[in-house]
Amino acid sequence: MADYRQQEPAIRAAGAQLAAISVDSPEKSQAVRGELHLHFPILCDTLRRVAREWGVYNAREKGGVAKPAVFILDPGPVVRYASVDEVASRIPASEVVRVLSAHGHTPAPERRRLVPHPGNFFRAVRNSIHFGMREPESPSK
Amino acid sequence: SSAYPVRATPPQPGETAPDFELPDSTGAPRRLSELCSTNPLVLVFYRG
């Protein structure tokens, strides 16, 4: 979590928000926010409902916890990126920043590459008419 | 808590993830779809 705290400015600079989620109670989560100086919200899945519904539930540890996982969600919420680990570590926050930045700087397709220029269109029509009216060439001798 | 359906695999890129509403650490209700309504959201699951 400290890794994500350090990378939060870069995540915001890439145009995204940050939130964490665990099975801790609100009281415990607030204590964690204070201890780690976190500025983003921590959501409290005390009934383990979200962990189960999201396929990140680890029933074998501590009576049931979430696996370390990171999702990048676009409005919807539609998943853009998903990473789930079985051990305590998760992908570095710098990797999340890289994914966000790569997405943000993807150039939009240029219209002129998708729509034929009118001049080219009329030239093509004119050429097709021209070649269509040509006399067939006599076979070479 | 054990009555909630367990999904075998997490939602994959391109899929719509299950929406939910949970309290945050201050007790205020937070709905996922509202958290990412205008900007992308990085959602970090941790063990607790």
pLDDT at B48 over 60: yes
* Residue in A with minimal Cα distance to B24: A43
Contact of B29 with chain A, judged by CB distance below 8 Å, is answered with no
Q: Provide, as residue numbers in chain B, all residues whose Cβ is less than 8 Å from the Cβ of A22.
A: 45-48
Give the closest residue to A70 by CA, choosing from B21, B46, B1: B46
Question: What does residue A82 show for φ and ψ, rounded to 5 degrees?
Answer: -140, 135
| Two tokens, residue A139 | 């076979």
Write the residue in A43, A48, A100 that is nearest to B40 by C-beta.
A100
Q: Which residues contact A91 (CB under 8 A, 6 or more apart)?
A: A70, A83, A85
Structure tokens at A113: 């590459």
Output the pLDDT for position A87.
Answer: 64
Model confidence band, residue B8 (pLDDT cutoffs 50, 70, 90): confident
pLDDT tens digits, one per residue of B10-35: 998 998 999 999 999 999 999 999 89
Using the Cβ of B20 and the Cβ atoms of chain A, whether some distance falls under 8 Å is answered with yes
> Letter for the amino acid at A18?
L
pLDDT along chain A (141 residues), means of 10: 89 93 94 92 94 90 88 96 79 86 52 38 42 44 44
Strand-pairing partners, residue A57, are: A66
Q: Do A53 and B25 touch (CB under 8 A)?
A: no
- Cβ distance of A55 and B26 shorter than 8 Å: no
The residue type of A51 is: A
* Nearest-CB residue to A68 (from B18, B19, B47): B47
